[in-house]
Homo-oligomer: A and B are copies of this chain.
Amino acid sequence: MSKRVVIIGAVALGPKVACRLRRLDPDVEITLVDRDSLISYGGCGIPYYVGGDVNDIEDLYKTSSHAIRDMAFFENAKGIKVLTRVEATEIDRKNNRIHFQHRDTGEKQILDYDKLVLATGASAIRPPFKGSDLPNVFTVSDLHDAKSIKTLMAQGKVGKALVIGAGAIGLEITEAMTDLWGIETTLVEMEDQVLPTLLGKCIARVAAKELENKGVELLLTEKVLEITQNTENGQLDVKTSAKTIGVDIVVLAAGVRPNTGLAYRAGIATGRSGGIVVDNRMRTEDPDIYAGGDCVEIRNLVSGENMLMALGSLANRQGRVIATNINGGQSHFKGTVGTFCVKIFDLAVCKAGLTYRQAKETGFDPVYAVVAQADHAHFYPNAELIYISLLADRKTRKILGIEAVGKNGDAVKARVDAVAVLLPYGVDVDGICGLEAGYAPPFASAMDVVNNAGNALDNVLAGKNRTIDAADFLHDFGHEKARVLDIRGAKEAAPFKEKYGERWLNIPQDQLRSRVSEISADESFYLLCDTGPRSYEAQVFLTSKGVANTLNIQGGYAMIKMIAPEFI
């Protein structure tokens, strides 16, 4: 009798296990089970379907060669049996059997398995405030939600929307509604920044400003307390800690929770994060049961802590590992460094590793540098600035994280990926200075922005580059007496001198050596140039002349402009 493999869950990981396993073993009997009718779809594409970048919902469950991935496709093209709208109710581990119930007919069914795969995914959290289950309060965890939201918008029934949670899905759905549909959208986030688990404050402020630039009302450090149906106008009244906002729909994007009920009832351990515990072959404690995708916890390779990370790319790679191991191979999934991308209107934000806060909480002594530089040679047309924040541990010099933002998404991704893939190897700052990424003027600078992020951090760690975060500068400049020493050209500095008067001193870089006597050694200065390297050079020079109390504004005016265009 051929081996029987049952897979619970048929969205991302499940189908990957099934298809890979079939290619490894033409004889194994594979059954793929899902509680939904729609299977094997690109869940990450939902915001793009809602926003109209993807027109037809079928595109999300078509292959790249345009075949629809439905039951017949899996049966005919792959030799994989699929059961849909079937709920797995109980795992009988003793007898290697699993009990099911058909959701439409109530009919019960039992399948024997040699190996079982739990690919049960995660569900959107519905926060416990009153009204979170009202009609027109949606989550965006499956295609049905997506369809409902899009239908309402297409019918012209949505003028105003409110999104709860400024994580990745919250941002993507906010953009989707605002950009194509022109819906007035409010985004509410409890924490004091967008993408709080993903970004440090500086890059997060760039993202927040982009949302505001595109007309999104962004409410940070604000909680939704309740939602009520307004009986007069039919709208939903969303009461936050500060005010009440009337909207037509609410989208809950307050995170997801792994679906572990089935595993839990079978006595399979979950971890502190709430996800199913697996080893690095993706096996649960039961050697016949594998699990992967959004329902498991995985190791963060930078912090060493286990965590949840619901991402289709991880699920796909884990699926391949599981299939190889079921087939008797030895394949490992070691964990994640948290590599991540999100498009926010005209900007791309990419990151990997830990944020400053997370690094501190994990017990590191984190230090970071921010640089801004063109993605391509600065003399080559269409160069766009990339802003990178690079984080390392002071003592070991090991890289802990990288965050970057820019208009050219592929170019931003290139820089972050190059660092991300090195994180499992424990790369240090010198490794980033020496990183050998591809170069030619249409692709990069001779000293590329990612190398320069390493260089800047090297100088910071050496105590040579004494910096202030641009966000902190904007705060402190309003509260402290220190002046700005602007070493850009007179023309660039003129409007600032006009606005800030005495507090703005301008000595262009090429005059600094001859005019250094104008500067009092006792005074403190914030040093400003276009993007940071020249003010660092000025700082070194000034220090040698006894002007020691200077702070170099990280990312220079380029960064200030991104986070506070009103500064000038």
Residue interface mask A34-59, B partner, CB < 8 A = 1: 00000000101100100001100001
Q: Which residue of chain B has the shortest Cβ distance to A437 in the bound complex?
A: B417
A26 contacts B379, C-beta separation under 8 Å? no
User: Which of B67, B168, B378, B513 has a CB less than 8 Å from the CB of A79?
Assistant: B513
Contact of A65 with B by CB under 8 A: yes
Q: Is the CB of A440 within 8 A of B341?
A: yes
Q: Does A106 contact B (CB under 8 A)?
A: no
Contact A438 B352 (CB under 8 A): yes
Does A181 touch B at the CB level, under 8 Å? no
Chain A 56-72 per-residue mask, 1 if CB under 8 angstroms from chain B, else 0: 00011010110100001
A541 to B76, CA, bound (A): 12
Nearest CB of B to A239, in Å: 32
In the complex the two chains form, is B421's CB within 8 Å of A437's CB? yes
Known contacts being A312-B446, A378-B64, is A421 close to B435, with CB within 8 Å?
yes
Given the interface contacts A316-B447, A413-B437, does A23 sit within 8 Å of B540 by beta carbon?
A: yes
Whether A413 pairs with B45 at a CB distance below 8 angstroms is: no
Kindly report which residue of chain B lies nearest to residue A419, judged by CB atoms: B421
- A544: which of B27, B352, B424 is its contact (CB, 8 Å)? B27
Residues on B with beta carbons closer than 8 Å to the beta carbon of A421:
418, 421-422, 435-437
A343 to B343, CA, bound (A): 26
Q: Assess the A343–B443 pair: CB atoms within 8 A.
A: yes
Most chain B C-beta atoms within 10 Å of own C-beta, residue among A435, A447, A531: A447
Interface stretch among A107-115, A361-369, A404-412, A466-474? A404-412
A319 — nearest CB in chain B belongs to which residue? B447
Flag if A320 contacts B433 (CB, 8 Å).
yes
Q: Say which one of A118-126, A189-197, A332-340 lies at the interface with B.
A: A332-340
Q: Which residues of B contact A375 (CB under 8 A)?
A: 410
Decide: B317 and A350 in contact? CB cutoff 8 A: no
Q: Which of B22, B422, B513 interacts with A76 by CB under 8 Å?
A: B513
How many angstroms between the C-alpha atoms of A425 and B424 in the bound complex?
A: 11
Q: Which of these, B336, B341, B380, contacts A54 with CB under 8 Å? A: B380
Contact residue among B24, B72, B441 (Cβ-Cβ distance under 8 Å from A45): B441
Contact A436 B409 (CB under 8 A): no
Partner of A313, one of B24, B53, B76, B447: B447
A450-471 residues at the B interface, CB under 8 angstroms: 451, 455, 459, 464
Highest count of chain B CB atoms <10 Å: which of A60, A332, A436, A529: A436
Chain B min CB distance to A227 (Å): 29
In the bound complex, CA of A22 to CA of B512 (Å)? 14
Does A73 belong to the interface (CB within 8 Å)? yes
**A76 to chain B: which residues have CB within 8 Å?**
510-511, 513-514
Closest partner residue, chain B, to A459 (CB atom) = B23
Instruction: Determine whether the beta carbon of B59 is less than 8 Å from that of A438.
Output: no
Contacts of A64 in B (CB 8 A): 373-374, 378, 530-531
CB-CB contacts below 8 Å: A474-522 with B: 488-489, 509-514
Is A77 in contact with B509, judged by CB distance below 8 angstroms?
yes
Whether A394 is near chain B, meaning CB under 8 Å from some CB there, is no
Contacts of A42 in B (CB 8 A): 377, 379, 441, 446
Q: Which 10 A-B pairs have the closest CB atoms?
A: A26-B544, A313-B439, A410-B410, A414-B414, A341-B438, A312-B446, A64-B378, A77-B510, A410-B411, A76-B510
A-B residue pairs in contact (CB < 8 Å), sample of 18:
A23-B537, A26-B543, A44-B441, A44-B446, A48-B379, A48-B380, A65-B488, A65-B534, A73-B510, A76-B511, A77-B513, A314-B436, A331-B430, A340-B440, A341-B442, A417-B437, A417-B438, A421-B436
A23-B464, A23-B536, A79-B513 known; 20 new pairs, CB 8 Å cut-off, are A24-B464, A26-B540, A42-B446, A54-B381, A64-B373, A64-B374, A315-B446, A317-B433, A340-B438, A340-B439, A341-B438, A342-B440, A348-B442, A375-B410, A409-B442, A410-B414, A413-B438, A420-B438, A422-B422, A425-B425
